[in-house]
Amino acid sequence: MIEIIPAIDIIDGRCVRLTKGDYGTKKVYDASIEEMVSSFASCGVKRIHMVDLDGAKISSPANLKALESAANVLTKEYGESVSIEWGGGISSSEALESALDAGANYIIIGSLAVKQPELFDNWLSKRQGEMILGADVRDGKVAVKGWLEESLYTVEELIDRFIKSGLDQTICTDISRDGLLQGPSTDLYVNLQNRYPNVCITVSGGISSMEDIENLERKNLKRVIVGKAIYEGRITLKDIEKWSQNE
């Protein structure tokens, strides 16, 4: 079954959601980061998606304390059964090591993959299985720097660039759908997964209901990130728990 990965986006150490990547649409949620990771882990998920939005904007980690707190909660309560995939501002080897030291199990790389592809090649070869390409698209092109800038590359061009270096995980967000609760761009993900059968394509953006997830499951997709639908009550923790028990 498709794996549900709940999302936590962070600004100023707090859990937020944006719409279409627009920082001006920020909505802050009351629950602490620690409370969120604990509640998600209690549902039986295997992985939690966390993004440092401040870090993405300034190209340097800004919320590592939140990562460390989340990792400590998970380790204390769940051992090594729940992993964290972390992204936002990882633009140097020092930043990469800092995020891993703070408790990240997987690192999402977006902007650096576009701007310093040779360095990402190096990380892929040295850290097989830990690196995830973040290839988020707007109007067919990959956006970088917290989705504030558009590159010249398509997601296919980026995957083609790095697959020979061992790329096996890619998260692709359709920015035009992100936070709108209008359903994902299913054809985009089906086409990517069919084209790259040895790369796990993670669906991100637009998930509005369990029906969306059930449809992705029928299309044989492997992972899906769910954010706003959880925070707005469209998908409940009970729904996630029931799905996780059936995986």
The pLDDT value given to residue 243 = 97
The pLDDT value given to residue 25 = 85
Q: What whole-number distance in Å separates Cα of residue 157 and Cα of residue 159? A: 6
Closest CA to 48 of 96, 86, 101: 86
Q: Where are the domains of the chain?
A: 3-246
Closest CA to 116 of 132, 92, 135: 92
pLDDT at 204 over 90: yes
The pLDDT value given to residue 145 = 78
Decide if 22 is catalytic.
no
Decide if 136 is catalytic.
yes
pLDDT (mean) for 203-225: 97
Please say whether the dihedral angle defined by the alpha carbons of residues 144, 145, 147 and 148, taken in this order, is positive or negative: negative
pLDDT digits (tens, 9 = 90+) for 99-133: 999 999 999 999 999 999 999 999 999 998 999 99
From the list 9, 52, 174, 212, the catalytic residue is 9
Q: Model pTM? A: 0.94
The pLDDT confidence band at residue 67, using thresholds 50, 70 and 90, is very high
> Average pLDDT, whole number, for the chain?
94
End-to-end CA distance of the chain: 5
From the list 136, 178, 212, 239, the catalytic residue is 136
pLDDT (mean) for 31-51: 96
Just give the CATH number of 3-246. 3.20.20.70
pLDDT at 148 over 90: no
The pLDDT confidence band at residue 22, using thresholds 50, 70 and 90, is confident
Q: What whole-number distance in Å separates Cα of residue 4 and Cα of residue 225? A: 6
Q: What whole-number distance in Å separates Cα of residue 247 and Cα of residue 241? A: 10
User: Which letter does DSSP use for residue 2 in this model?
Assistant: P
Q: Are 207 and 213 in contact (CB under 8 A)?
A: yes
pLDDT (mean) for 18-36: 85
